[in-house]
Structures are given as C-alpha cells and as structure tokens.
Structure 1
Amino acid sequence: MTVGQMLAKEGFAERYKQENPIFLHEFLYPLMQGYDSVMIDADVELGGTDQKFNIAVGRDLQRHFGKKPQFGLLLPILLGTDGSQKMSKSLNNYVGLKEDELSMYSKLEKTPDAIIKEYFELLTNLPLEELPENPRESQKLLALEIVSQFHGKQAAVTAQKTAEDLVKNKGTGATDAVPEYDLSKVEFPAKLFYILSASGLCGSSGDGRRQIQGGAVRLDGEKITDVNITFEQSEQLSGKVLQVGKKKFIKLVKA
C-alpha cells in the first residue's frame, strides 16, 4: 500500500490539502483490517457504507498476496434516534437490542419524521405503501413492529398501552408495567443525577445534571429542579417512578 492510495480515502485528501493532521493510526487501521481478509481467506466481507475504503484495501491486499479478492457487500448506515448521526451508544442515540419492551418502544416512538421511511425499509418487512399518512401513526406502527420482533406481539401491545397511560398520567399511573430499578445497587446517600446515570435513564452523571437543569426530570410526577438534590436512604425513593422527558420511566424498588 502506498501513501497515495491511503490519501484516496474520502476525507484524507481534503485534510492533507488543508494541512490538517492525519494521524498514523488512521492509516494503519484500514491496512490492518484489510490484512484480516488475507489471513482468513475471506470470500465475502460485510460492512456499512462507511467501510467501503477499508474493504477495498482488503481486496488490494488479497491480490498482492496472490489470492482472489473478496466480494464486498455494503449496507446502509443506520442513523440514530436523533435522525442525524450514525447510531452509537457513545452518542446516546441508540436502541439497545436487549432493552426492555417499554424502553425500546418509547425510543422508537419518537423517531424523527425524516428517517421514518428509512427505518421501515431497513428494520421491518412492511411495504411502504401500507404506512399511515399521519406521521404520528407511522411512529407508533414502527415502534410496535420492531418491539414485536424482539419481545413478541403481546409485549409490544402492552408497552404501547403503558407508554400512552404514563404520558396521560404524567408518570403516576400504570406503574406495574414500568421497568424496575433495584436501589440496592446504589450506595446511599446518593445524588439524583447519579441515580439517573446508574439506572440508564441518562447516559452519564453529566447528562443527568443537564436533564435536571432543563426541567426534564420528574419524581412521581413532580418536577425536580435542584441539580444537587441528595437522598439519604433508599426508602425515600422506593416505590416511586423516576421520569426523564415524556417517554423514559423506571420504577424505583428495593429488593
């Protein structure tokens, strides 16, 4: 491989012209990934469209070592729930495959209009002509379809009803179906922003702080505005519903 070949990668040439740094590991990564194809005698390599260059490097290396280049099958990049960036846990714009049905439903129900069609195409088997004209109904159908794939139809229907009930009752109703979080995992005294992070309602303690500052956090329907609010013991929280925004809820329990 030559430096010229590496600079052919989208983004590298532009950065080079603008004299922006290109770090050595950025060159080595596609090279090492490509060499994987050589070592395992790959026939087919799957990857997102962002892996096109790396797969092409693998094909070149296969030829260099006298082997038949593998076929590359590229798949569209799945945008995250923010509708703008690649789905990623680090960006907190993801839907986890092992999430409970209510959490999964609540996230998918908020899918931005701009990517609804793409989600239906990539994640369901429903014909696009069957989609509701009303965007809100499309969001609900999308959430129902995907949750059904992972948790079954009945669980998806229950999650839908629970989500609707919780919004209507501002977090104080239908708590039996809300995912539970065991407070024994928390060392008290504890600040609320830490509990938000530990329970998974927020991506980090910093995110928890921001959500409280933004007025998005409620405890049993009551808005929390004190960023540094601290609870001395679990009994103060046990049995209550902790809410972030309109769609994310957990019931705090002590096992």
Structure 2
Amino acid sequence: MSQVQTPSYFVTDRVKEALAVTLRGCEELIPQDDWVKKLARSEATGTPLRIKLGLDPTAPDIHIGHTVVLNKMRQLQDLGHTVIFLIGDFTSMIGDPSGRNSTRPPLTAEQIKINAETYYRQASLVLDPARTEIRYNSEWSDPLGARGMIQLASRYTVARMMERNDFHDRFKAGTPIAVHEFLYPLMQGYDSVALKSDLELGGTDQKFNLLMGRTLQAEYGQEPQCILTMPLLEGLDGVEKMSKSKGNYIGISEEPNTMFAKVLSISDVLMWRWYTLLSFQSEAQIAALKAEVAAGRNPKDAKVALAKEITARFHSAAAAEAAELDFINRSKGGIPDEIPELTLPLGEGGVAVGIAALLKSAGLAASSGEGNRLIDGGGVRIDSAVVSDKGLKLGAGTYVLQVGKRKFARVTLA
C-alpha cells in the first residue's frame, strides 16, 4: 500500500512577509515551522487560514492594553485570513483560573450577555466587522452534556493538568482547587477542535490553555493549531501592565482630548514599545522615525504622531486633529515661561508615584487628601490635560503639573 504524502509548498516572498507580520511584537510563535507551512499552503491553494481569539466577557470595557491582541488579529485579517472572534459565554460561567491564587466567581448569563455586546462593539473599532466571524462557545459546549464532558475529560491527565503553574503553586501551598477549574482549559481547548482553528492568539498568561487546543486537536485527528502569544502592555507609568485598578490605563471610550493627552504623557522609551504593539505603521516606517529621533528630531513629534493615530482609531481623524489643536492651544496659553523645576524619586524599586502624593511632594498641595479634593474639583492638570482619575500613577519622565490657574511645577521622576 502506497504511503500518502503531504504536499509541500514553496515559501514565497508573500509568505515571508506574512511571517514577519505575525512575528511583529509577539512573545512566542509555537511552532514557527508549522505556521510557515500553513501560510505556504494557504498562499498556494487560496484557502484562508482560520485564526481564533477567545475572550471571556468578564468586564464590559476595554482599554488599549486589550487591543494589543486585537491589533494582531487585524493585521492577519488584512492578509486575507478568516478571523474568529469567539465569545466565551459558556466558559465564563466556569471562571478562568489563569494567574489566580483562588477560584474566580463565575458570571451570570445576563452579565455575560451585556458584557459580550459591549465588548464586541468596542473590539469592532479595531477589527473589520464585515470580515469577522462571531461565534459563541455555548454553540458546541452546551450540546456536549454530561456524557460528552466526561469523554472530553478522559483525553487529558491530572498529572499534565498539574503542570500548570497556578494549579501547581496552589496545590503546593494547600490552597483549594475546585474540580470545575480543570474544565476551563479543557473547554477552551475544545473550542479549537470545534472551530478547526489554524492559529490561536492570547496573552502570555494563556499559554497553557492555548497549548491545550493543540493537544486536543491531535486527539480528535485534526492538524494542531499554532499558537501566538502577545506581551502584556505596560501602562502610562511604564512599569506595571495596563490596568484600571492601577490607574495607568487609557480607555478606548475616553474623550479624544483626554486620550491624546494621555498618550503624550508616556516616556520616550515607552513610546517605541507602544509603536510596536499599538501602531499600524510598518516596522520600516517606525525604524525610519526612530532613526530621525536618534539624529536629533524632537521625540515629541513622534509621540504626537502616535497620539493622533490612536485617537483617530477610536474616534476619527477629525477628532484627533481637534485634540492636537486643543493641546497646543492649552499648552501655549496656560504654562508660564518660567516655573519651578524639581526632581523627585520614584517609589522603591522604581514603582510609579500616585498623582495625589506627587502633588504633595511637589508643594502643590498640603496633603494627599487635599490633592484628591483638587482632582475631584477638576483643578489639576498634567501637561495641560485635566486629571480626572485619582488613582493615576506616573512613572519615570518629566511632567508639567498645574493646580488651579497659577500654581505650576515641572517635575522629573527618576
């Protein structure tokens, strides 16, 4: 009996370009050789690859840190591949244990429905809705039933499940692990089987779950998917990952002027990291801009361009232009030529400094409490942008702080 041979395909320049797009800013591509083969086959046959992103709608709002993975999806979508925006309405009711040291409370069906609608509406500001396949994993998870769930569970061992860091650490520490938590990675992996995905994206904290999809696809006789992990975006402080709880975020529904000013507040070093992960400019364009700055061009020019691009994406080009004009007008008219300058230390270990504490240290408020009251009253500005979040934290960089109409300080945090 003759052996069936898998067709081989040429790695064309278009395939190399697609690989470069895939690798831009990513943490890991596993396994890269398999992804190149999939790209080559797609190029030769004209068959789009199926690219999956699964999101549990645990919260209704998105900040730009969430869009790092969505940006990658859009880049692959623009190459002609099929993007699947998978809403984990079934898995949300289990609760994802990734990175947790305790069981996460599951959401109600009503919470999931509301959050999913809001989440997709916001994600559509990045993805092309006309070329996005929207799926819900309850489509195949609900029909499994008890029998199907037991059969699925038989395809993975407890020993391998305990290799997962959070399970291993919790077991070693004597922290309870509920049996249903084992079902979450299994169900996420089964999503890849149901969708016949070629590539699944996720954050670095999702690596175990993404690899589960490869394992289960092989168990069900499918070609295993490749996985692409993206890094977690540092927030405005340049230190910790972007998070609403840390106050170092930019919400994609924030007002254009606020969004523009917040982007301008990041450090020059962080700016290039954001360019790689958030900008749709090519790597060649970014490299050219970086070379210009290295040759003496004001880095603020590059930061303004990034601020305009991000603001335009979530609002409009006109809104971005108006935000830039507003920023220029306020900067020219509001800040005196000579203001006090001082250098203050970051927290121990380079930890970002809270805005209220910074106002006190700069002599612009008598206490942190007064600083918070000034923020509540809309009387505090950073680089001419009104501060509305008392939880805001600032990392290394230079900032013009303003309280009221007459109190200013140019503060360098280092």
TM-score scaled by structure 2?
0.40
- Pairing 1:123–2:278 present: yes
Q: Indicate conservation of the 8 Å contact 2:250/2:262, yes or no.
A: yes
How far, CA to CA, are the matches of 2:275 and 2:370 in structure 1? 40
CA contact (8 A) 2:257 2:327 kept: yes
For 1:139, the equivalent position in structure 2 comes to 303
Say whether 1:158 aligns with 2:322.
yes
Distance 2:247 2:272 in 1: 22
Indicate which of 145, 162, 184 corresponds to 1:29: 184
The residue number in structure 1 matching 2:313 is 149
Q: 2:105 corresponds to which residue?
A: none
Q: Deviations over 1:194-249 (max 9, x none)?
A: xxxxxxxxxxxxxxxx7556548xxxxx97964796xxxxxxx9xx9554544542
Q: Which has the higher contact order (CA 8 A, sep 6+)?
A: 2
Aligned length: 199
Q: Describe how 1:23-62 pairs up with structure 2 within 5 A.
A: 23-24=177-178, 27-62=182-217
Cα distance change, pair 94–20 in 1 and its aligned pair in 2 (3 A): farther
| Structure 1 CA distance for aligned equivalents of residues 196 and 287 of structure 2 | 39
Q: Deviations over 1:91-131 (max 9, x none)?
A: 33222222221111111111233322121122220422223
Q: Which amino acid aligns with 2:210?
A: I
- Residue 48 of structure 1 aligns to which amino acid in structure 2? G
- Is contact 2:170-2:177 (8 Å) kept? no
C-alpha distance 212-76 of structure 1, shift in aligned 2 (>3 A) = closer
Q: Separation in 2 of the partners of 1:22 and 1:114?
A: 42
Quote the residue 1:233 is aligned against.
Answer: none
Give the Cα–Cα distance (whole angstroms) in 2 for the partners of residues 26 and 138 of structure 1: 45
SS at match of 1:146: helix
Partner of 1:249: 386
> Judging changes above 3 Å, is the alpha-carbon distance between structure 1 residues 140 and 70 closer, same or farther for their aligned structure 2 residues?
same
- In structure 2, what is the Cα distance between the partners aligned to 1:214 and 1:247? 16
**Structure 1 counterpart of 2:234, from 79, 83, 87:** 79
* Alignment RMSD (CA, Å): 3.8
Q: Distance in 1 between matches of 2:198 and 2:308?
A: 37
Q: After TM superposition, give the deviation of residue 57 of structure 1 in Å.
A: 0.9
TM-score (normalizing by structure 1): 0.60
Shift of 1:143: 1.2
From the superposition, tell whether residues 26 and 82 of structure 1 become closer, same or farther in structure 2 (CA, over 3 Å). farther
CA 1:29–1:92 in 2, change beyond 3 Å: closer, same or farther?
farther
Q: Which runs of 5+ in 1 are unaligned?
A: 172-209, 217-221, 230-236
Check the 8 A contact 1:120/1:128 in 2, yes or no. Answer: no
What is the alpha-carbon distance in structure 1 between the residues aligned to residue 199 and residue 304 of structure 2? 37
